[in-house]
């Protein structure tokens, strides 16, 4: 897709330069749902 590593570095540099850091606090929905699935599976055994 990219002809060389320099192109990739340049692209990433441009993306990171314009990026904003967003801090999200609280429990992850994916981790919460995975934990609930594992607990449900453990109860079924």
Give the residue extent of every domain in the chain.
5-44
CA distance 43 to 45: 6
pLDDT at 30: 94
Q: H or E segment at 39?
A: helix 29-44
42 has pLDDT over 90: yes
Comparing CA positions, the residue from 21, 38, 20 lying closest to residue 30 is: 38
- Whether residue 12 contacts residue 2, with contact meaning beta carbons closer than 8 Å, is answered with no
- Whether residue 2 contacts residue 8, with contact meaning beta carbons closer than 8 Å, is answered with yes
1 has pLDDT over 90: no
- Which tokens belong to 32? 């919460």
Tens digit of pLDDT for each residue in 12-38?
999 999 889 899 999 899 999 999 999
pLDDT band at 45 (very low <50, low <70, confident <90, very high): confident
pLDDT at 35: 96
pLDDT at 2: 81
């Amino acid at each position: 897709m990219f002809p060389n590593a320099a192109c990739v570095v340049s692209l990433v540099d441009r993306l990171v330069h314009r990026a904003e850091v967003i801090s999200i606090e609280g429990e992850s929905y994916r981790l919460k749902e995975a934990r609930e699935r594992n607990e449900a599976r453990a109860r079924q055994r």
